[in-house]
Structure 1
């Protein structure tokens, strides 16, 4: 595996001093979640809460942290050193999603979405910030769901979708771990594997379908009135939000784009051109997506990705030197389109012209497993770096896209599967729909 040719350094936009020693210890509840008061409307939230007893230590700078699931739990790493900070037990197959507050993740577990505190956060004090860190822990805050599915963070709202009931719960991202965060709830006409996006003006973009098929998208205003709708999106799946606030939803024959009160279909160049996993960026009006053309394939191994320009309503394809999977898509700090290939390289694409700018060797070549739940390499862009896991070697690597180098690597005691993280005091990730999800239907 690649190793640094010089002493590891924090990459661009993450060059910080090492965290200092204890400056002040306070109960974490003073800075974040404590014992929550019941919601004003008891029906608006069924989340449970518990008081935090962990002690917080003030740090000189944000402390970004990673979380990696394995069979039986999740390990938490310091994102700058890749040292293990905690090992938390989690039963069953667990998915991880940013909660939207820069500190917590929402783990999709049996019974609902459970808040996982990574123990790193910041507080604004006038013209400056204070940064804190504490021991990571599993909280008792759970938003019940029969089949917890997509979680989408955007503009201070976190939208949860329950595939088992079709219920959408929109939370205030800043208070998601307090247990009294619901600000809006609705249930779609039929349960389905869906997704919802809450926008800054309280507009809600939500899919509709049944357990057998999905093709509908509705847009509701703050009062629940329909402002736009379309049924021209067969197999609707996945979403991303571009820099111009346009929402892009994947279809089996292209995408639907919601912008300025209108839903617009952008056709794929093939009769069947499925886009189901996407990554947006606050630095780019272009959304990166996967692209598949064989409706009968059990394991297609695609070698092209899609780029949807929300300014022009156009879709283009980029050929890659290797295939990839649904955990392979990410966006760089300047909006670069990033794809982790089965050749072990991180491929860097200019989203504006679709040119392949670089292929950075990171891990050994690998093959996509037959089942989507099985461990496979994953990629995460966080706080100026890009992180890549390799289950075959139980390793995680930090990549600097600007210098095209792997600046740090670490060996784990577990086989990593899901990968997520928090900036720990910097701007919360996922504000523009960086979202790739599973493909089981």
Structure 2
């Protein structure tokens, strides 16, 4: 198995021209800045911000009131990810990863900047150990920078680039000691992962993870990757494969973790021929016991990849098609509570289509309800809806900057 060579860029990346305009203030092309905040406007109040992507734009909401504070034009379909510094959001668009300054935690106005980390087919964004890691599916190159430098730099921060070997839809992560983990694959498929030390030497690798996708880092910096027939655990230089109970197909694609729990919540699909994107079971991967348990969802409760989260008490929170958040205790494997939030909904025809999503920041879950053009804030300790924001657009992607 070939491994990617290490190349340290150490050069400030160049910006490209702005590709967006401000929808809320002018129909003319501009800098992507919102109108100046006034003392009585929502954006004058420091706190969390919620970025909501919709067809052709992104709106930034006050995280407490869910009132809009800024709105920007963008491409028809974008993806949103927190940058990792509790202030910025990465907007995945055709040219790469564009920087949205949500101005969370400040009284400043949000700005969709003209700063773009260029990438061929930009994909996953990972945040870990003070680093932000950007993956380009078109080259399998990994771009790494110190997360704190995003706010401190005049333009884009200095980056380190690790060149890919064969392009595929993949993901990378850098651990605290500099260990670099990345997926392996090519145009025909994905097969496993490789681990390199800080100097670029291979310390572990495997090709026993067909369809490898996604990653999550649990307690003690143990990393989990999903496979079409189970999961990989990377722990201190060792790779362990856990098999799904359903073979040859028991797919895990996305992992949801906390740094205080050894148990990883994942999605699960045991039917490769299933129509649609709704799933009716999850798995719990115990990285200490090295076990994989499938847990069936309550009857009538299905979900998609946008509907799983971790929150208070390291519990799992799953926004289901019955409109409720179902609370899963990862230790017992039992559902322990249920919070009705939105109307029942059906799965999307395509995964890109708007459908309900959940993201958690502290004790608050932000939930989109596309059918009502709404976003809700739910206190996960009580199950109470504490705020609802009504939009003039249909929400799709979601990212939170905690401030």
Residue number in structure 1 paired with 2:314: 335
Q: 1:370 aligns with which of 341, 345, 349?
A: 349
2:311 is equivalent to residue 311 of structure 1: no
2:109 is equivalent to residue 93 of structure 1: no
* Change beyond 3 A, Cα 1:354–1:181: same
Residue number in structure 1 paired with 2:22: none
* Change beyond 3 A, Cα 1:248–1:62: farther
Distance 1:52 1:112 in 2: 17
Residue number in structure 2 paired with 1:33: none
Residue number in structure 1 paired with 2:361: 382
TM-fit CA distance, 1:318:
1.4
Q: 2:171 aligns with which of 189, 195, 217?
A: 195
Distance 1:206 1:232 in 2: 14
Distance 1:352 1:85 in 2: 40
Q: 2:257 aligns with which of 254, 272, 280?
A: 280
Q: Answer whether contact 2:119 2:136 (CA < 8 A) is retained.
A: yes
Residue number in structure 2 paired with 1:246: 222
Question: Over residues 232-281 of structure 1, what are the superposed CA-to-partner deviations in whole Å (9 max), with x where a residue is unaligned?
Answer: 11000011111221110000011101111111111111101100012111
TM-fit CA distance, 1:189:
1.2
TM-score by length of 1: 0.81
Distance 1:211 1:334 in 2: 41
Question: Over residues 49-94 of structure 1, what are the superposed CA-to-partner deviations in whole Å (9 max), with x where a residue is unaligned?
Answer: 9999998999999500101011111111111111111111112200
Q: 1:259 aligns with which of 235, 251, 263?
A: 235
Task: Return 227-236 or 403-412, whichever deviates more.
Answer: 403-412
2:196 is equivalent to residue 228 of structure 1: no
TM-fit CA distance, 1:214:
0.1
Q: 1:412 aligns with which of 382, 388, 391?
A: 391
Task: Return 277-286 or 81-90, whichever deviates more.
Answer: 277-286
Q: Answer whether contact 2:49 2:402 (CA < 8 A) is retained.
A: yes
Q: Answer whether contact 1:246 1:310 (CA < 8 A) is retained.
A: yes
Flag as ranges the 4+ runs of structure 1 deviating above 6 A.
Answer: 49-61
Distance 1:40 1:216 in 2: 26
2:131 is equivalent to residue 157 of structure 1: yes
5+ unaligned residues in a row in structure 1: which ranges?
1-38, 122-131, 425-441
The aligned length equals 375
Q: 2:333 aligns with which of 347, 354, 367?
A: 354
Q: Answer whether contact 2:311 2:317 (CA < 8 A) is retained.
A: yes
Alignment of 1:17-28 (within 5 A): none
Q: Answer whether contact 1:188 1:208 (CA < 8 A) is retained.
A: no
TM-fit CA distance, 1:304:
0.7
* Change beyond 3 A, Cα 1:183–1:225: farther
Q: Answer whether contact 1:145 1:162 (CA < 8 A) is retained.
A: yes
2:118 is equivalent to residue 144 of structure 1: yes
Q: Answer whether contact 1:239 1:278 (CA < 8 A) is retained.
A: yes
Distance 1:336 1:141 in 2: 36
TM-fit CA distance, 1:211:
1.7
Residue number in structure 2 paired with 1:169: 143
Distance 2:50 2:351 in 1: 22
* Change beyond 3 A, Cα 1:284–1:49: farther
Tell me the secondary structure at the aligned position of residue 372 of structure 2.
Answer: coil
Tell me the secondary structure at the aligned position of residue 292 of structure 2.
Answer: strand
* Change beyond 3 A, Cα 1:231–1:47: farther
Tell me the secondary structure at the aligned position of residue 202 of structure 1.
Answer: coil
Question: Over residues 88-114 of structure 1, what are the superposed CA-to-partner deviations in whole Å (9 max), with x where a residue is unaligned?
Answer: 111220000111111100100111100
Residue number in structure 2 paired with 1:116: 100
Tell me the secondary structure at the aligned position of residue 148 of structure 2.
Answer: helix
Q: Answer whether contact 1:240 1:249 (CA < 8 A) is retained.
A: yes
Aligned-residue RMSD, C-alpha: 2.3
Tell me the secondary structure at the aligned position of residue 234 of structure 2.
Answer: strand
